[in-house]
Every structure is written in structure tokens, then in C-alpha cells.
A and B are shown apart, each in its own frame.
Chain A
Amino acid sequence: MSAAVETGRPVPKDELRGDASPALARAAARARRAPLLPALVFTIVMTQLPFVATLVISFMNWNAYYPDERSFAGIDNFRRVVTDDVIWDAVVTTVELTVTVVVASVILGLLIALLLDRKFWGRGIVRTMLIAPFLVVPVASALVFKHAIYNPEYGLLNGTITWVWGLFGDTTPPQPDWISSFPLLSIQLNLIWQWTPFMMLILLAGLQGRPLDVIEAARIDGAGSWQIFRSMTLPHLRQYIELGALLGSIYVVQNFDAVFTITSGGLGTANLPYTIYTTFYNAQDYGLASAAGVVVVIATIIIATFALRTVSSLFREEGGR
């Protein structure tokens, strides 16, 4: 791992070599470490200990409703996790929710970023308007979507349908019950609305860092707009798209607020965080909740290993500057 040091700011040789005396070198290394330690120790204690505890509890038969029956369970909880349809459904829902929201918001964010990367009247105002969804507290936005927009009787969606149909003299407009008919889509729309601005901001920053002179040269050489977009803009944006997708996934995978608020996990919308929450908070089945948590952590580690490779390539590029 010594190669890692080379990727960043070079460490002065004389400080590392320590040929004066080993004691002095050790003192110097300690002085370097000192400012890092509080943050590092705090993070290790607060994040790793709970996971160790989760691991221990996952091998226990522990339900808070029956405190006297606490015992060692072996791998029973894991067997239940693997055979539990509820948890498998939650896995599928989580993947579905995360992939749709991230992909849709990256594509929408890219299109909007391309629109905003041009000069037009009021560009700053439009950019500000587009940021607003990200600045509404997630629970609040989920509440507003559920009650003020999706509500079948007086929500904005059906109200607009009534109004448009009324323009044509139709007094029996369709009034779908959005959340009951499209439960997962209702949540996805809320999240896409919230995450598109995030992707747009990152991709817009990427677009504005494009080498314009090269693009100009390509245009003079007769390259078409689509050609320039595909072979120059898109490759340049790749790392920004990856970064946005990675960060978006980290947050959307863990989404609790929208599922909890809009459907309360009903109608097949319970994702893993929500399912683990109910297993622990409502069913008080500590053993099963922990086993599910352990499985999620292992799955996350596998996925994150790939994701980290992406970040580390970004990182190397930055360090190599």
C-alpha cells in the first residue's frame, strides 16, 4: 500500500526516513497522526461497535416481547432471513426503487444540465427554481406529495385533470387513486423530483469544466452537434455521471422517509430499511432484524467494493494533478 502515498502530495523524504534517530522519527509520525486520531477513533467506535453488536445479536434468539426467552440461536435467524418472503420482497423493492430513481434522475439531470449550459434570459432564476426540490425537507416533501398532490379527492393531480377535462365540457373526468393504483411509482416520482436537481448540479458543474476550445475546433472541422455530444461531451461527463450515480445510490438505497410517509411500507413498497425498522420497532424481533442487517451489510460491502473502485479512480486523477 506504499504506492498510495505517491498518489498525493509527496511526503518530504527527510521526514519519513528518520535517519537521525528512530525515536525522533516515531515522534514525528506521532505528531502527524495526532490531529487525525480524535475523528478516526470517534468514527471507529460509533460505527464499528454497533455492527459488531448487530453481528452478535443476529446469532441470538431475542424478542423484546418475550425477554425471558433470550438464548443462543445459531444460524436460525439467517435461515429465517433467507426463507422469509417479506425480506426477499424488500430486497427486490429496494433494488427496483434505487435503480429507477438513480437512472431516471441522472438522465433527467443530464438533459436539464444541457439546457442550462446555454445562455438564455433568466438562466440564474431557472437554476434557482430547479434547486428548490432538493431543499424541501424529505419528510415534508413526501407529506405534500401524499396529501396535496396524490390525494384522489382534492390532490393537485386529479384537480388538474378535472380542470382540463372541464375545459372540454367533460363533467366526468377520470379520478384515479394514485397511491393505491401505483404505490411504488408514487414514491419513485417523489424521489426523482427530489434527486434530479442533485444530479443536474453535479453534471452542470461537469459541463462547465469542458474544454471549450477543443469542442470549437471539432465544430470547425465539421463535427455535428450529436457527434460532439457523443464522442466528446459524454466521455468528459462520464466521471461526473459515475459520481452522481454513486452518491445518489448511497442515499436512495437507505431511503426511509418517503416509504414511511407515503405508503407506510404497504402495497409492496416496503424496502429493506423500512422492513428492518418494522421488524425491530414493531415486531421487536431483535434477532431477525439483526440478521437482516448483517445480510444487508454484506451485500453492501460487495456492491461498495465495486463502487469504491470508481471513486478511487477519480481520486487518483485528482491526486495526480
Chain B
Amino acid sequence: MTAITDVGPIPATRTTAGTPRRDRRPRGTVLLGVLAWLVGLLFLVPVAWMVLTSFHSEADAATNPPSLTAPLTLQGYKEFFGASSGASPWPALANSLSASVGSTVLVLVLAIPAAYALSIRPVRKWTDVMFFFLSTKMLPAVAGLLPIYLFAQFAGLLDNLWWLGLLYTVMNLPIAVWMMRSFLAEVPSEMLEAASMDGAGLVRSLREIIMPVVAPGIAATALICFIFSWNELLFARVLTATVAQTAPVYLTGFVTSQGLFLAKVCAASLVVSLPVLIAGFAAQDKLVQGLSMGAVK
């Protein structure tokens, strides 16, 4: 504990201007840097192991002790894409993409005007509305699953991607409203007033004043909604079957407990995670804002 919290002498860069800079690095600092690297690598091990195993043959993947230097092959990926079984994951991947992108667009269309009415021109009791949105996120989704299933059965919406997309929309809407409100609250109100005095209409002030400030916030919101929709399993599993099944559902069905299949499982897991990994790494700085619903910037 103390080793970590002991931050050592003040680093040279923080000394006030004028005093000579010293580049002497105390040993403690170096050790803590090494420790940080070790922790980072430790957390990466499962991911690295997944990547490595996915490129091994099934025989090499299932050795004990592990064979790290075994020859690499694309066999696992070929199997996942149906080389021998003929079953293709593409429809499931496409379904996940449609449901995630579709619901994200719908969430933004609903959340941005709502956030506007909660920040720039707030309705009365806007905090109550905010807490209503948040409270829906706290209610366990599983408690509403049965009626949603029964309704879908009644209305012929089982195994229907549109219905799933609508559910993902309502699942992410509260998060998006909270995030977008926190971004819109940053738009300087003086600028809006000046614009309206100049006779700028709502559309023009939206385009010229609000959008530039808020665009990064929209990107962060979209990223989070996309990730949560793509990852969702419970509703997709209960509500979809062969036609509308999403990638996570396909993944759980893909796993069989017979024979050697480790490389296949790793390849499949990696393929399904790839869109999220790419989106998340590309927008790392947006991730914190999104995950904290805009509370942390």
C-alpha cells in the first residue's frame, strides 16, 4: 500500500520556473513505472492469450503446459466462418450491426431534443425528469422481460430485429439523455442569446453554435450506446431465434462441449469483440465521459 501511495520527491517538471531542472530519477519512480507496466501486462494476459490461441491449431491450443511458440494458422477463423459446418456467423453479425446502429441512431434522435429541453431551454422540474430517466436504468431489466416476451408473442414480434432494436433504444435512452444534457449544459448561453437577437432561428443556432460544442459529446454518446447494444445477451437470447439472432447469441450457441474447440472459441470471441475493441480504442478519451454518463469529463 505505502509503496504505491508514496509518490516520492516532486518531479523536476513540477518545479517553478527559474530553478534548474534536474533529470535525476529516484529509484522509487522507476520501480513504480515498472510496476504499472506489470499490472498492465497482467490485465492484458487473457486478451493476449485469446488472440494467440485463436491463431493456433486445435491440437496446439490444448496442450499443458501451453505451447506459446506453436506455428500460427487461420484454421480457427475458417472453422468459425463455417469451413466444415457450413454455418455462417455473418447473418448474426449483420443483425447485431443493424440492431446496434439502428438503435443508436434512434436514441440520438430522441435524446438530443430531450436534452435540449432539459438544459438550454429547460422545462419546469427538469431535475425530476432527469431522475426519472435515471431510475428506469436502476430497475432490473429482467423484471420486465416476461411481459415484453409475452407482448412480442402476442404481436408476432418474436424473432424480430426491429423489436429488439426498440428495446435497445429504451435501454440506452436514459444514459444518452444524461450524457447529452451534460454536454448541452456547456453551450454558453450568452452566445445563444446573441444569436437569437441577431434573428437566428432555432435551426441556425443549432447548426452554428450548438453543434460545434456538442459534436464530440454526440460521438461519445453514440459510442457507448453502440457498445451496450452490441454486448447485450439476455434480451436477445429470449426474444430472438434463427432469423434475428445477434452475434452474442450466435456465440453461445456456437460453443459445443465436444472435442477440441479452444482455437475456434477464441477466434469466435475475438471476431465478435472486434467492432467494440476497434471503436473503444479509437475513442478512448470518449469512453470515460460515456461510462460516467457525462459526469466525468
Contacts and interface: CB of A to CB of B under 8 A. Distances in A.
Nearest to A145: B46
Given A38-B114, A47-B139, A139-B248, A32 B266 contact: no
A148 interface: yes
B144 A47 contact: yes
Given A133-B47, A159-B65, A290 B146 contact: yes
A29 B147 CA distance: 35
Interface stretch (B84-92, B212-220, B289-297): B289-297
A256 B251 CA distance: 15
A250 B37 CA distance: 31
A121 B81 CA distance: 40
A32 B288 contact: no
Given A119-B11, A135-B273, A256-B234, A4 B126 contact: yes
B146 A225 contact: no
Given A138-B233, A225-B6, A202 B296 contact: yes
Contacts of A132: 43-44, 47, 277
A305 to B, nearest CB: 9
B117 A36 contact: yes
B134 A115 contact: no
B255 A143 contact: yes
Contacts of A247: 291-293
A319 to B, nearest CB: 8
Interface string A1-36: 100110111010000100000000000010011111
Residue picked from A143, A158, A247, most chain B C-beta under 10 Å: A143
A50 to B, nearest CB: 4
A147 interface: yes
Contact of B117 (A35, A158, A250): A35
Contacts of A163: 65-66
Interface residues on A, range: 35 or more
A275 B257 CA distance: 23
A297 B140 contact: yes
Contacts of B133: 43
Do most interface residues of chain B lie in helix, strand or loop, or is the interface mixed? helix
Nearest to B13: A119
B159 to A, nearest CB: 15
Interface in B1-20: 2, 4-8, 10-11, 13-14
Contacts of A156: 45-46, 49, 66
Nearest to B278: A135
B174 A43 contact: yes
B39 A115 contact: yes
A153 B62 contact: yes
A277 B33 contact: no
B143 A116 contact: no
A17 B197 CA distance: 21
Given A8-B119, A140-B270, A141-B46, 12 more contacts: A36-B123, A39-B111, A50-B151, A132-B43, A136-B50, A140-B272, A147-B255, A166-B65, A205-B296, A256-B142, A277-B145, A314-B295
19 contacts: A35-B113, A42-B169, A42-B173, A43-B133, A54-B143, A57-B146, A119-B13, A132-B43, A134-B280, A135-B281, A140-B248, A140-B269, A148-B266, A151-B262, A154-B63, A247-B293, A254-B140, A296-B143, A301-B139
Interface of B: 2, 4-8, 10-11, 13-14, 29-30, 32-33, 35-37, 39-41, 43-47, 49-50, 53, 61-66, 110-111, 113-114, 116-151, 166-167, 169-170, 173-174, 177, 182, 185, 189, 227, 230-231, 233-234, 238, 247-248, 251-252, 255, 261-262, 265-266, 268-270, 272-273, 276-277, 280-281, 284, 287-288, 291-293, 295-297
